[in-house]
Structure 1
Amino acid sequence: MKPKITESHLDTVIVNTPEANELAARAVLAAALPAHAKLDFDRATVRQQVRHRNTHGTADLALHLWRGKRLQALVLIENKIDAGFTPDQPQRYRISRDAHIADGSAPLVATLLISPSIYIGGSRLKDDFDGALAYEAILPLVHEDDRAAVETAIGRASSPYEPVPVEAVMSFFNDYAQIVAKAYPDLRIKTNPNSGNARPEASRTIYFDTRASGFRSYPFLLKDNKAASIRVSHQCWDSSAPSASVKLMLDGWAAHLAKATPILQPALADKSLYIRSAGRSLAVVADTVRLDNMRSASAQQQAIEQALKKLQLIRDTWNGMETTLVKAATVLGR
């Protein structure tokens, strides 16, 4: 099991370090703007989750270097421990950087990736940033109370997951999306989280946007005293289950499977739907024909459309189950 540490925790450490230690601020400056490493400044401030300019999303951190009241340099920072990049993430940093330059936000603006050295060494996208700075380089500059967190993050890191794209699999997903858009426009597929729309050979699951696809969210179904989230997917091939399937998953409810199933199953039985666990979730499931993600989706269109019809059935059934779900929540004390 990987050591427990979050990027948000490391964000806080990175905020505190350059603000308190000029050497740390200069390390960031030298990594992002090496030609200006000797820039004259007397104060550093860092903001978290700064909205990008001219594009969507946010920079994890923005380092501001000041001389008096004049901003001398701005560095937009992406902090990664071991997570992969979301689609076009480095490009969005560049767009935002260029917008800041055009707006005259600061005389100098740059982008920077801060990560463990093993991540930087293994990332194919690090060169899309103006510079990269390893956790190991700033570790000696971090306050002693925060060093354990940085060391834990370094220990957690492994080569980042940037999947090797397989053209046949990417073609399958693209064709699948076209089938949905043309024949089932009421169902909306989620955006591929992999940079460059990459799909590896092991990519066999299509996830749907629950809200845009019309799946109801019931605020009385709780997990940890908050509304439990739902996910919806088409698992084209599931080696851990008896069959490929489409399913709705209620997060955190697998622990209540034994008590919830007798309450929920009668509402599903005449529709060929059933209840089972899916990881930590309770799932409403319909079995489907196994699909080959290395073959054209158009050649498997009939099986895909049958699965999508079953997904619509799950949605319509789920949306009409409020009374039954209230009963289950009441019995389980959720």
Structure 2
Amino acid sequence: MAHLTPRISEARIDALFAQHLLRPTFGAAFLKHARFSGKVASVDVQQPHPMGRGSVDLMLTLEDGTVILVENKIDAAWSVAGDAQPDRYRASVEKLQGQRIRCGSLLLAPELYLSRSRHKHLFDRHVSYEDCLDLFEGENRELLTRAIAQANSPYEPEPDVASGDFFSAFRAHVATRYPGLVLKREPNGKGVRPTGSHTFYFDVPSTLKPQPALPRPRMSLQAWDSGASSPSVKIMLGGLAHRTDVSVPSSLREVGGYLRPAGKSLGIVIDTPRLDPSRAFLDQISAVDEGLSGANQLNTWWNKNAAELGYAVNGQ
């Protein structure tokens, strides 16, 4: 088998730029490409969006107080959980400007990505990786060069037949037995699922009622979860992972639910059995139904009782 070059994550490029932007020469050159003037005073990585949902890849604050919100892309599609990423940046800029803070948004990406993006006009400025290449040396320059090359050969998942069959059967089972649950379309098209796929994503507008007092949720069910003691079905509220002070509503405890951080989100969780997408669907039907029963309970709880959590989060 041919050796596969590990793909470079956007988080790694975030860290690369964050490491160098406080250097006066680098920072000044970067701001010149971005058509901003001044000096970078601070750089924060993966900060919550001022508009309240999602995170900003790099938040630059200049010495004069100007804030630059940077979205970094190599080859990934835009996240559309809740508001689309470009819309979040526009909303965050407007919010900060409403607070009389000078602010702008910036899309940082390879030239190929910038040339093909239909949403780059939603950002105030654009800087290409190629613009910055000569600002780096040695291994750092090589890393950015590889990221540029990666943009020219985007990720194409290797199909896994067994996983594809399992996810297809799971989708059909949900449609016929659990009409209150609606799954998102397969992200790769044509039912392709790569090896290691383990998460089922629900279509929020078709499944969960909006709750004005809470961030727009995401909902998923995992076949397995290496970062937790059990797989689970979760409703996730972005930017609220720090709210460990929120009490679990009694109505949620009654259905076996609890609260825990899930990345940068607050997870509303019901534990579910482990599933193995590499094995036959019918051999695991009892575990599948137990997991979907949990999803149904969580869905019903949210639509009837999520306002209780809204009161707790907002201190009412």
TM-score (norm 1): 0.52
Deviation of 1:147 after TM superposition, in Å, equals 6.1
> Is 1:253–1:281's contact at 8 Å kept on the other side of the alignment?
yes
Deviation of 1:173 after TM superposition, in Å, equals 0.3
Task: Map Cα deviations across residues 156-178 of structure 1 (whole Å, 9 max, x no partner).
Answer: 44352211011011001001011
Q: Structure 2 matches for 1:150-165, cutoff 5 A?
A: 150-151=130-131, 156-157=147-148, 158=150, 159-165=153-159
Match of 2:226 in 1: 239
1:252 is aligned, of 233, 239, 243, to 239
Task: Map Cα deviations across residues 273-310 of structure 1 (whole Å, 9 max, x no partner).
Answer: 11111111111111111011101222211211111111
Q: Structure 2 matches for 1:307-326, cutoff 5 A?
A: 307-326=291-310
Match of 1:296 in 2: 280
Which secondary structure state, in structure 2, belongs to the residue aligned with residue 233 of structure 1? strand
Q: 1:269 to 1:306 in 2, by over 3 A?
A: same
Match of 1:41 in 2: none
Query: Unmatched 5+ residue regions in structure 2?
Result: 1-10, 18-72, 80-108, 117-124, 134-143
2:13 is aligned, of 3, 15, 18, to 3
Q: CA RMSD in A?
A: 3.2
Opposite residue 233 of structure 2, the aligned amino acid is V
Percent of residue pairs identical:
34
Match of 1:8 in 2: none
Distance 1:282 1:146 in 2: 33
> Is 2:168–2:191's contact at 8 Å kept on the other side of the alignment?
no
Opposite residue 320 of structure 1, the aligned amino acid is K
Q: Structure 2 matches for 1:1-334, cutoff 5 A?
A: 1-4=11-14, 81-83=74-76, 150-151=130-131, 156-157=147-148, 158=150, 159-213=153-207, 215-221=208-214, 228-256=215-243, 258-260=244-246, 262=247, 264-331=248-315
Opposite residue 201 of structure 2, the aligned amino acid is Y
Distance 1:319 1:85 in 2: 28
Which secondary structure state, in structure 2, belongs to the residue aligned with residue 285 of structure 1? strand
> Is 1:245–1:287's contact at 8 Å kept on the other side of the alignment?
yes
Deviation of 1:150 after TM superposition, in Å, equals 4.3
Distance 2:127 2:78 in 1: 25
Q: 1:218 to 1:166 in 2, by over 3 A?
A: same
TM-score (norm 2): 0.55
Q: 1:184 to 1:152 in 2, by over 3 A?
A: farther
Deviation of 1:315 after TM superposition, in Å, equals 1.2
Q: 1:84 to 1:197 in 2, by over 3 A?
A: farther
Opposite residue 297 of structure 1, the aligned amino acid is F
Q: 1:266 to 1:197 in 2, by over 3 A?
A: same
Which secondary structure state, in structure 1, belongs to the residue aligned with residue 294 of structure 2? helix
Distance 1:277 1:246 in 2: 13
> Is 1:179–1:301's contact at 8 Å kept on the other side of the alignment?
no
Opposite residue 259 of structure 1, the aligned amino acid is D
Highest Rg: 1 or 2? 1
Which secondary structure state, in structure 2, belongs to the residue aligned with residue 197 of structure 1? coil
Deviation of 1:266 after TM superposition, in Å, equals 2.7
Deviation of 1:268 after TM superposition, in Å, equals 1.7
Opposite residue 313 of structure 1, the aligned amino acid is Q
Q: 1:217 to 1:150 in 2, by over 3 A?
A: farther
> Is 2:213–2:311's contact at 8 Å kept on the other side of the alignment?
no
